[in-house]
Structure 1
Amino acid sequence: MNMKKILSTLALSSLVLLSAGCSDLLEEENHSNVMQDFMSTPSGFGMALNSVYANVRSTYSAEEGIHGLMNPGTDELKNNVGGSNRCADLANYDLEKYNANNEYPRKLWNDAYVHINTLNYMIENAGKVDVTTSALTAAQRDQYLGEAYFMRAYNYFHLVEQFGDVTLTTTYNAAPSTSAERHDMVRVYEEVIVPDLLNAVRLCSPSPQLNNLESGRASAAAARHLLSRVYLTLGWVFDKDPANPIYKGNTQTKYYNTAKAKEYYQKAYDMATGLISDAPSLGLKLMDNYADVFDEANDAPSGKNKEELFVARMDWDDDNTFGGRSTLNHYFVNGYDQYLGERNINDGRCYSWINPTGYTYNAFDNRDKDTRYEATFQTVWYATKTQKGGVVNYVIDGKDESFNWDYTVVGDTAMYYPGYYMSAEEIRAKTQHREGNHYLIFTPDAYNGRAIFPTIMKFLDRTRAIPNDNTDRSYIIYRLGETYLLAAEAAFKLGDNINAAKYINVVRERARNKQTTEAGALDIAPGDVTLDFILEERTRELLAEHCRWADLARTGTLIDRVRKYDDGKAYENITEDRHWLRPIPQQMIDRVTTGEPYPQNPNW
């Protein structure tokens, strides 16, 4: 059945949407008989799963979605330093305003448990669904079951990443409940997340490129990738030595066990390298050029991006009936409109919520050889109308410099962000004595953390009808490029720098400028591999792709690297006493009124 039709049907039926529309597991209205009767039918079984996929879209499309939890407040990205927005309190670790009532952790928590409940029913009752008619075959039922296992693991993984110990339930909650308890996070990993992903590997279609699997559905390849990340995370869980001051306040130090750590690092390495080895037979490969990964022409559901492993489809609601489009195309856009005099389709809507730190710009080194800087950051803006202009001032070499600007030619250069130092004399020579526009050059000396910074282009949508439109571009959640870096990190933790360098070099070779350099020009040696280098390589490859906070939390470097590299407000506020974990939503704590109070995370 067509995914969009399924989601439309679900949205039009309030009874069917109980699992997707309920705001809290503990106070769910008891429509259990209607819900269970429907989900146990051949059509209802598939629709229940697709209500869960609708939430994947919401996770990556909503302003209060996962972008605020994963991108700002890290070493890579900071919140706009000049103003407030919905993720400011969270991103800045505001010691008063960022609390257990924050909407970002609350949305993740509530959405996860609502859909875990639906998935629990599917997994418990799959064997009872009628597969004797053409409405649902046994093979389709098994594929859906595999996807349900994947999605339950996916949701629980987000929960333990962000909150640590959480409530573990694998049975369908058919009636309201006012009691709950938190369970050890390792138990959640070992009893649900890992077994569920192994079941997904067994039951799902092998690859998003095979068996005509509809784009956006989970495959065994996606499960293998996620399982590698899960194993790697577990390795780090058991590898945090309480004697190491970098882990001060980190609750994971209680698990310290080097033998267990090595066991999980090996599993992570084997899972990632197995997927890499099998990729050609699965129709998967790295895209030839880094920029191709984010080319709109290759977006799902085109099937052209062979690197995609799992995507959040936005185009299922391409008529915007249910508000399903994404605001992701706005967050990283600079304030170009104050100079061009208007917004335009090509350059995006100027939210300017989040922008890079100095560390991030510096991490993109070797720019003459590595194409990832120019594929990630916008460098040129063109005039869309004439402007009288004025004067821009910023400090270069300790001196306040002034630059005149005006636009007389539409379509000529209006702004240029070279990404490197230029003297005031060099800037004037390029801009003041030419025919056409006297355009603006903003070097890193001008970046102000507010409106002047280079736009991150990965998520721009140049097919929108008007400049302020949200995007219907699908979002890549997991891709093969990261699989190589997971393999490299696992190898490094096993003391195998030869293979760590090998897998990093595959990613770097893809990024190499093929027009100006010879093969191997970006290769590193085994001795170059350190944890810092791996994290920097992840910045170059995965900037803004919703994984950085988790990367730093996994490796136990969150507090240290935010304090070292953030140049916004986060470094002043982040504390090891509180910020290793997110706060349990106060709404959850308040609704547990029977039995023991629901525990909050330390110092929240």
Structure 2
Amino acid sequence: MNQHNSLIRSVTQSLLVMGALLLSTTGCKDLLEEVPVSQVGSQYASTPSGFEAVVKAAYSSLREYYGREDAMTLTVFGTDTYTMGADGSFKFVNQYTSQIDGRLALTNNIWNAFYKGINTINVALDAADGIGGLDATIKKRRVAELKFLRAHHYFILVQMFGPVSLLTKGNLVPTKEFTRAPVKDIYAQIITDLESSLTDLGTPTSEYGRVTKGAAEHLLAKVYLTKGTDKDAAAADDFNKAATYAQNVIKNYTYKLLPDFSSVFAQGGGEINDEVIFATQYTSDPITNIGSGFNSTTTSGVTINGNQTHLYFGMEYDVQAGMQRDVLNGRPFKRFMPTTYMLNTVFDPAKRSIDSRYKKTFKDTWLSNRPGTFTNLFDTSKKSVTFASGDTTIFIPGVEWTMEQRAAKKYQVLVPSLYRPNLFPVLQKFLDPLRPDRTYEAGSRDFIMFRLAETHLIAAEALIKQGKAAEAVPFINAVRRRAAWPGKEKDMEITAAQATMEFIYEERERELAGEMHRWFDLKRWGILVDRVKKYNPDGAPNVKEFHNLRPIPQDQIDRTAGGTQSYPQNPGY
């Protein structure tokens, strides 16, 4: 394990325009505890302690995105691999209806959170040069962290919205003067921020949670890979630079692919491991998880969110025979249901005997926590079932069984022909059994943003884009060998002839399902509309090319001098 002796649980409240800054004191269990300080001026950021506090505060905007309903809905829904379950919320996002417009709260929340975060960062960067009494090396490192965070925010914004406002100076006075900068200018700023940060960022240290040089190089690889496919920004050497930065991360640091795929998301603190390059920090302390999104608990007027991903991928196990809702199996919102393409092609049943990722990605067994005899069954191969505590109540084999095969089991068997919006295979990466009770929504698990398996796949994709399939093979095979069942490693290897973009389309999802990449991947590959039409029946009728961008928040347009003339809406909305 990398040296993770203390965790940065950065900051309670994202700063407002003037900044709601945070003081920090070292607390028990090696956590950095933050104490909120009410409205103070930018002068605070010009002091050594204030500057350090503002830098920590800048990290809080990551918790407004990763592990949150807003961004999960916009990156998982409406793709080729996930469609809508029985839950009624935000189905229109998956269906691409006209309800996706400038009033959409999901996009507005992300826009506001990131621009609030960018302004916090800009205020701190403006103050940095004038700060005395702070070790010069530490100050350079904090400036580099801020530049990384600003680049990260703009990278998400430019992918989602296209041309956006490019702000690099702090704003402490309300203004209505905004414009949308060209995409190429936004990418230029992202790259400038990231490349200038490399000299001063640290390598993995005891202060787990801070940005490192490895994280910056991973993000640069992803930025160049994406920029290289954007007609408004692409340069001839983008894919070469993407491959170079990805290979730097793989070769030059102490990150490692864990031996077992399931260990990456092991419950109970498993996110702190040698494969994780950067993660958004959450904690069981509700004050640290302050945010402003949906499905939150309000305490003393403050909105508490935590990591919410455990809510969205679950099926309706809790009303089935022998079962009731508990902390271990989660609170199932039934929001995201895997598509047939996901289950039958990405995770091809014929290949599951060599590739462990279907078994380790999806939960297949539920054990009784409500003993008794039951007759209300989805599995009609039997008239009743009787369970003692701990007996298997539901099993999902992932393939069809005959009626006779199912009848021979004392539990219910959920086969593909019985899948429906409330009963389906459950992605188990994000289950959070450490929540205090079965209804609690604010999870405490960190959200893994960057991990080394993705770095390998970025390197492979960038090499394939350059026509270097043979050079891509070792990076793909490293990921696939790790995913193999014991003794099947050789069977998992591919050849140069198999190293195509079509292979990458599926390999990324086998490895990264549910990790907030898919919508961006499909957009980057230029196949969002085609794949939704082919594999997402609920989204197919309405999806159009203009859906490759999200709508600009109408509030932004209305509050800009000149309105739509100065700040036009994206086409189609």
Is the structural similarity TM-score above 0.5?
A: yes
Are 1:200 and 2:197 an aligned pair? Answer: yes
Structure 2 distance, partners of 1:546, 1:498, is 29
**Contact kept? 1:286, 1:307, Cα under 8 Å:** yes
1:490 aligns with one of 462, 472, 496: 462
Distance in 1 of aligned mates of 2:381 and 2:488: 41
Pick from 33, 40, 49 the counterpart of residue 43 of structure 1: 49
| 1:542 has 2:542 as partner | no
**Contact 1:328-1:459 within 8 A present in 2 as well:** yes
Q: 1:317 and 2:285 equivalent? A: yes
Structure 1 residue 39 displacement after superposition? 1.1
User: What SS does the aligned partner of 1:355 have?
Assistant: strand
1:124-139 maps to which residues of 2 (within 5 A)? Answer: 124-130=126-132, 132=133, 136-139=134-137
8 A Cα contact 2:19 2:42, kept in partner? no
- CA deviations 1:263-304 (Å, max 9, x no partner) are 1011101111121111xxx3211111100100124435xx4x
Q: Out of 428, 448, 451, which is 2:407 matched to?
A: 428
Change (3 A) 1:18 1:48: closer
Shift in Å, 1:234: 1.0
1:294 alignment counterpart: 265
Alignment partner of 1:528 is 2:498 = yes
With structure 1 as the length reference, what TM-score do the two structures score? 0.84
1:406-449 CA distance string (max 9 Å, x none) = 233111110000111211121112x2xxxxxx31001111111x
Is 1:18–1:35's contact at 8 Å kept on the other side of the alignment? no
Distance 1:286 1:407 in 2: 43
Residue 237 of structure 1 is matched in structure 2 by: 230
User: Would the alpha carbon gap of residues 186 and 404 (structure 1) be closer, same or farther in structure 2, given more than 3 Å must change?
Assistant: farther
Corresponding residue SS for 1:170: coil
Alpha-carbon separation, structure 1, partners of 2:540 and 2:219: 30
**1:332 equivalenced with 2:313 (yes/no):** yes
- Aligned partner of 2:559 in structure 1 is 591
Deviation at 1:464, TM superposition (A): 2.2
Instruction: Tell me how far 1:566 sits from its aligned partner.
Output: 1.0
CA spacing shift, 1:413–1:319, aligned 2, 3 Å: farther
Equivalent residue number for residue 158 of structure 2: 160
Shift in CA distance, 299/408, structure 1 to aligned 2, threshold 3 Å: closer
Is 1:71 matched with 2:76? yes
Aligned length: 535
Are 1:409 and 2:388 an aligned pair?
yes
Q: Which residue of 2 aligns with 1:434?
A: none
The match for 1:111 is 113
Distance 1:150 1:494 in 2: 27
How many Å apart are 1:463 and its aligned residue?
Answer: 2.0
CA 1:407 to 1:318, structure 2 compared with 1: closer, same or farther past 3 Å? farther
The separation in 2 between residues aligned to 1:388 and 1:93, in whole angstroms, is: 44
Counterpart residue identity of residue 397, structure 2: P
Residue 23 of structure 1 corresponds to: none
Counterpart for residue 479 of structure 1: 451
Q: Whole-Å Cα distance in 2 between the matches of residues 520 and 382 of structure 1?
A: 35
CA distance in 2, matches of 1:229, 1:6: 24
Partner of 1:7: helix, strand, or coil?
A: coil
- Kept in 1: contact 2:20–2:40 (CA 8 A): no
* 3-state SS, counterpart of residue 521 of structure 1: helix
Matched, 1:344 2:326: yes
Counterpart code for 2:550: R
Shift of 1:333: 0.7
Q: What RMSD over aligned residues (CA atoms) do the two structures have, in Å?
A: 2.4
User: Does the CA contact (< 8 Å) of 1:3 and 1:316 recur in 2?
Assistant: no
**Structure 1 residue 263 corresponds to structure 2 residue 260:** no
Alignment match of 1:418 (pick from 397, 410, 414): 397
Q: Is the 8 A contact 1:290 1:510 kept in 2?
A: yes
Distance 2:556 2:19 in 1: 24
Sequence identity (%) = 32
* Alignment partner of 1:368 is 2:353: yes
2:34: which partner in 1?
A: none
Query: Is this contact kept in 2: 1:4–1:316, CA < 8 A?
Result: no
Question: CA, structure 1 residues 381+552, in 2 after alignment: closer, same or farther (shift >3 Å)?
Answer: same
Map 1:7-156; keep pairs closer than 5 Å.
Answer: 7=11, 16-17=19-20, 34-64=40-70, 66-80=71-85, 82-85=86-89, 87-95=90-98, 97-130=99-132, 132=133, 136-156=134-154
2:21–2:57 contact (8 Å) kept in structure 1:
no
Report whether the alignment pairs 1:385 with 2:387. Answer: no
Unpaired runs of 5+ in structure 1?
A: 20-32, 239-251, 395-400, 432-437
Residue-by-residue CA offset, 1:536-565 (whole Å, 9 max, x unaligned)? 000100000001100011111111111111
Whole-angstrom distance in 2 between the partners of 1:524 and 1:446: 34
Corresponding residue for residue 247 of structure 1: none
Show the counterpart of 1:221.
214
Distance 2:60 2:129 in 1: 24
Whichever residue aligns with residue 307 of structure 2, its letter is S
Contact (CA 8 Å) 2:159, 2:520: kept in 1 or not?
yes
Q: Secondary structure at the match of 1:477?
A: strand
2 CA distance for matches of 1:380 and 1:126?
54
Find the residue that maps to 1:509 and give its secondary structure. Answer: helix
| 1:357 partnered with 2:363 | no
Residue 159 of structure 1: how far off its partner (Å): 0.4
Does 1:508 pair with 2:480?
A: yes
**Offset at residue 317 of structure 1 (A):** 3.1
Aligned-residue offset at 1:174: 2.1
Aligned with 1:540: secondary structure? helix
Give the Cα–Cα distance (whole angstroms) in 1 for the partners of residues 549 and 313 of structure 2: 25
* Match in the other structure for 2:521: 551
Deviations 1:56-81 (A, max 9, x none): 122124333x111111110111122x
> What letter corresponds to residue 74 of structure 1 in structure 2?
T
Tell me the equivalent position of 1:25: none
Give, as a single letter, the amino acid of the residue that structure 1 aligns with 2:264.
Answer: V
CA distance in 1, matches of 2:289, 2:507: 40
Alpha-carbon offset, residue 104 of structure 1: 1.2
Instruction: Measure the CA separation in 1 of the matches of 2:181 and 2:288.
Output: 39
Contact kept, 8 Å, 1:126 with 1:141, in 2: the verdict is: yes
8 Å contact from structure 2 (residues 316, 423) kept in 1: yes
Shift of 1:7: 2.5
Q: Structure 2, unaligned stretches of length 5 or more?
A: 1-5, 23-38, 291-303
Summarize the Cα distance change of 1:379–1:187 in structure 2 as closer, same or farther, 3 Å threshold: same
1:379-414 CA-to-partner distances (Å, cap 9, x unmatched) read: 1001111243225457xxxxxx65434233111110
Contact 1:562–1:571 (Cα < 8 Å) also in 2: yes
**Mapped partners of 1:226, 1:418: distance in 2:** 38
Normalising to structure 2: TM-score of the pair? Answer: 0.89
Mapped partners of 1:558, 1:504: distance in 2: 23
Which digits, 9 at most, give the CA deviation of each residue in 1:134-178, with x for residues without a partner? xx3222211111100100000000100100111112111121111
| Equivalent position of 1:185 in the other structure | 183
Show CA shifts across 1:9-28 (max 9, x none).
Answer: x6899974189xxxxxxxxx
Q: Give the CA deviation at 1:533.
A: 1.0
Aligned to 2:249: 275
Cα distance in 1, alignment partners of residues 562 and 229 from structure 2: 36
8 Å contact kept, 2:178–2:560: yes
Q: Report the Cα distance in structure 2 between the residues aligned to 1:74 and 1:13, rounded to whole angstroms.
A: 34
Q: Following TM superposition, by how much is the alpha carbon of 1:100 offset from its aligned partner in structure 2, in angstroms?
A: 1.1
Structure 1 residue 458 and structure 2 residue 429: aligned?
A: yes
The alpha-carbon distance between structure 1 residues 11 and 583, as it changes in their structure 2 partners (threshold 3 A), is closer
1:70 counterpart letter in structure 2: T
Aligned residues of 1:329 and 1:348 also touching (Cα < 8 A): yes
1:318 is displaced (CA, Å) by 4.9
For the residue of structure 2 that corresponds to 1:117, the secondary structure is helix
